[in-house]
Structure 1
Amino acid sequence: MTDMPDVSRETHDRLERYADILLRWNQRINLVSPHDLPHLWSRHIADSLQLARLIPSGSTSLVDMGSGGGFPGLVIACATDARVTLIESDQRKAAFLREAARVAGVQVRVCAQRLEVADVPPAQVVTARALAPLSRLLEWGTRFLQPDGFCLFLKGRNAEDELTTASADWHMATTRIPSRTNTDGVILELSDIRRVRDHNNE
C-alpha cells in the first residue's frame, strides 16, 4: 500500500469527511469501482494529492475536467486554497460533488455541463485524471486555460504515445513528473500550449 503524503491535520480531516460520504454514496451511484474501495486512500486520494503540491499558493483558479467522484479536483480543494471549479456532466455525480464539498467544508463551484459546452471563466490551472487521451484533453482544456496557465494531467503507461500523437496538432512545453503512487504513472505539466498551424491555410 502506498503511504499517504504528509498533510495538515485540517486537510486530513477534510479528506476523511470526503472519503466517508463517498463510501456512502458509492452504494447508490458508481463513483469508484467496488474493487478499488479497499485502496481508496492509496489509489485515488494519494494519487490526486500529488497535484496539490504543484498548485501555486495564493488562491489560484483551477478547473478540473470530468471530476466524477472528486478526483483530482475535490481532493485538491481539500488540500489547497485554490479556487476550484469542478466540471461534471453526470447530474447525479454533480449532486454528489456539491454535497461532498459541503460535508468536507470546502468552497467549490460545480458546473454540471458537458465539457464541450461548459461555460466557466478561464483558469490558471486545468486538471484531469483518467478522463480521455491527451489530444482530447487539450481540445477541451485549452477552452478553460488562461494564456499564461498550465495543465496538470495524471497519465499512465501510454503517456509517451499520447504525447507523440498530440504533437501532430499541438505545440507545448512538457514537464514529466514521475508518479509517487503508480510506477507506470506520470504527471504531465503542460504550458505554452498552441495549436499547430495548418500549412494549407497559411
Structure 2
Amino acid sequence: MIVSRETTERLGIYQSLIKLWNPKINLVAPSTVANIGQRHIEDCLQVARLQGPEQGSWADIGSGGGLPGIVVAIAHAERPISFILVESDQRKAAFLRTVIRETGLNRVKVLNKRIEAVPALNADCISTRALAPLPRLMSYLELHLTASGKAFLMKGRQWTSEVEEARKTWNFDYVAHPSRTEPGAAILEVSGVRHGA
C-alpha cells in the first residue's frame, strides 16, 4: 500500500494530537510516545494493508485513542467506506472527534457507548486492538458483523492460545497474518462467526 501525501499529512496531524492530549488522558503508554510512528502508526497500517471492503461500513470497537480505527480511516479516506468508532470513555471520544475534525475525515463518526449497549451495527468490517480476549470478542463479532463480513483483530504473542480457547464455544474461520512490527504477534482475519463448537 502506497501512502499518499494527504495520508502522510493526516497521520502527522494525528501524531501531534496524540502528543498534545496524551499527558491528560493517557491514549498510549507514555514510554511509547517518542516512537509513535513505528510502535503505533506502522503497527496499525498493517490492518489497512489487508483486504478490507472497497465500500460499505467499518466499525472499530474499543477505539481508545483511535488505534487502529483512525489510522485505517486515514489510509482509506478516498474510499467510500463509512467508519464508526465505538468508545465508551467520554474524554477519549472527545479526542477522537477532535482528530476527525482536524484531519477532515468526513465519513467517520464516534459512538460514545459501551459496545455491550450498541445495537447491531451490520458492519462489513470490524477492527480492534488490545480490547479483550478472543472468546469475549466473538460475541461482539457475531452481533455486529454482516454475514459475509470479516474482522481484523490485532493480537499479541498469546494469540494461538486465545484461538484454542475461543474454539471451545465458537465456530469461525481465520487467517493469521504475522505482525511486521512485533515478533510473535498477529492480525487475525476472522469470518464466519457462529456460536457453538
Runs of 4 or more above 3 Å deviation: none
Q: What is the aligned counterpart of 1:54 among 38, 50, 55?
A: 50
1:102-181 matches, cutoff 5 A: 102-107=101-106, 108-119=108-119, 121-181=121-181
C-alpha deviations, 1:6-50, integer Å up to 9, x for none? 411111111001111111111211111110101111011111110
Residue equivalent to 1:75: 71
**SS of alignment partner, residue 36 of structure 2:** helix
Q: CA deviation at 1:114?
A: 0.3
Aligned length: 193
| Aligned Cα root-mean-square deviation (Å) | 1.4
Residue equivalent to 1:15: 11
**Whole-angstrom CA distance in 2 between matches of 1:14 and 1:55:** 22
Matched residue type, 2:5: R
**Whole-angstrom CA distance in 2 between matches of 1:183 and 1:74:** 24
Percent identity (aligned): 41
Residue equivalent to 1:84: 83
Q: CA deviation at 1:119?
A: 3.2
TM-score of the superposed pair, with normalisation by structure 2? 0.93
Contact 2:53/2:124, CA 8 A, preserved across alignment: no
Matched residue type, 2:187: I
**Whole-angstrom CA distance in 2 between matches of 1:104 and 1:37:** 20
Q: CA deviation at 1:56?
A: 3.2
**Whole-angstrom CA distance in 1 between matches of 2:119 and 2:97:** 18
Residue equivalent to 2:27: 31
Q: What is the aligned counterpart of 2:62 among 58, 61, 66?
A: 66
Contact 1:45/1:75, CA 8 A, preserved across alignment: yes
Gapped regions of structure 2 (runs ≥ 5): none
**Whole-angstrom CA distance in 1 between matches of 2:21 and 2:138:** 31
Gapped regions of structure 1 (runs ≥ 5): 198-202
Q: CA deviation at 1:84?
A: 0.9
Q: CA deviation at 1:62?
A: 0.5
**SS of alignment partner, residue 66 of structure 2:** coil
Q: CA deviation at 1:121?
A: 2.6
